[in-house]
Amino acid sequence: MVEQRSISIVSSSNEAFVPHLATLFLSLLTTKQTNTTFHFYVIDDDISLRSKFLLNRTVGEFNARISYVTIDPTDFSGAVESDRIPQTAYYRISIPNLLKENKRAIYMDCDMITLEDIEALWEADLGEQLLGAVEDAGFHDRLEKMGIESETDLYFNSGLMVMDLEKWREEKITEKVLGFIENNPGKLTFHDQDALNAILHGRWLELDPRWNAQTYMMLQEKEHPTIQGQARWDEAIKKPAVIHFCGHAKPWNADSNHPFKENYFDIRGKTFFPIKKETKSL
């Protein structure tokens, strides 16, 4: 008998991002192994009943399930926001306390699609580390600029995180990150990502960049500062596993030049959120 495996995926969305969330979920479901099931957790920021119905239909054909969880937005009332980073982006910080019965979860941003099975991510050995993540491709020297003393300047992208929820709860990481946000709003250029790195520097496992192939890397807009790092980037560009449409080149923007934008539209077209030509540039 083949052993069944259940993977927990967490994302956060408001009404506007539900079509992109459906696209992410469908990409996960169409690349999984037959013995794998998904339990999706959606941190719900006023998603309409109609959108939930359509999202449930999208995943229901694959015997997956969705749990909608709510959060108290007043916990993030002082969070720094921007046009591209809404308050919902901060909600991932609370995942360990929202999923109290879960030992592990993979957090994924809505602006992602998967090109292959993510079992290897789910099975990643984190050792004593609190999460697994991919180095941010921007190289913004954020730890130094935030005045964080660290033995390493490695800074991770929070769009994909393999989270050891038990260790987070034991060490009260959520509370520490929220405390940093409250006490250092002027330092948060990159919002929750800055706060997470400020608390978790040196406590995360660096994953291969193909698991979070970011726009800077895919468009070759930046070079890695090390020869070894650039070699990993070159391999990831050839065979990315998770595409992260972070930054400016989101496929639904009319001026997007992302090399995998058509992959997004191929998957999106199979969801219950079809694209109308007049809205494709939104």
- pLDDT tens for each residue of 234-258: 999 999 999 999 988 899 998 899 9
Residue 186 has pLDDT above 90, yes or no: no
Sheet with 242-244: strands ordered across = 112-114, 242-244, 213-214
Give pLDDT, residue 77. 61
Over residues 162-166, the mean pLDDT reads 98
Alpha helices in 32-152 (DSSP H): 49-60, 95-98, 119-122, 142-145
**Residues 21 and 11 sit within 8 Å (Cβ to Cβ):** yes
Tokens describing residue 201? 């520097």
The answer to whether residue 84 scores a pLDDT higher than 60 is no
Instruction: Categorize the per-residue pLDDT at 87 as very low, low, confident or very high, splitting at 50, 70 and 90.
Output: low
d(CA 143, CA 62): 42
| Predicted pLDDT of residue 85 | 53
Amino acid, res. 267: I
Q: Is residue 49 over pLDDT 90? A: yes
Tokens of 261: 């934008």
Is 5-277 in CATH node 3.90.550.10? yes
CA–CA distance, 67 with 10 (Å, rounded to integer) = 10
**Would you state the pLDDT for residue 79?**
60
End-to-end CA distance of the chain: 47
**Whole-number pLDDT of residue 146:** 84
Share of the chain above pLDDT 90, in %: 69
Other CB atoms within 10 Å distance of the CB of residue 210: 21
Distances (CA, A) of 105 to 10, 248, 270: 7, 28, 26
Q: Locate tokens 């060490």: which residue?
A: 171
Q: What region does 147 belong to: left with phi over 0, alpha with psi -120 to 50, or beta?
A: left
Given a cut of 50, whether residue 280 has pLDDT beyond it is no
pLDDT recorded at residue 80:
59
- pLDDT at position 89: 61
Q: How many CB atoms lie within 10 A of CB 176?
A: 17
User: Residue with structure tokens 């520097």?
Assistant: 201
Q: Which of 199, 195, 204 is nearest to 85 (CA)?
A: 195
The domain segmentation of the chain, as residue ranges, is 5-277
Candidate from 16-25, 136-145, 153-162, 272-281 with smallest mean pLDDT: 272-281
Q: What is the pLDDT of residue 145?
A: 86
Rounded to whole angstroms, how far apart are CA atoms 250 and 40?
23
Residue 132 — pLDDT band, cuts 50, 70, 90?
Answer: very high
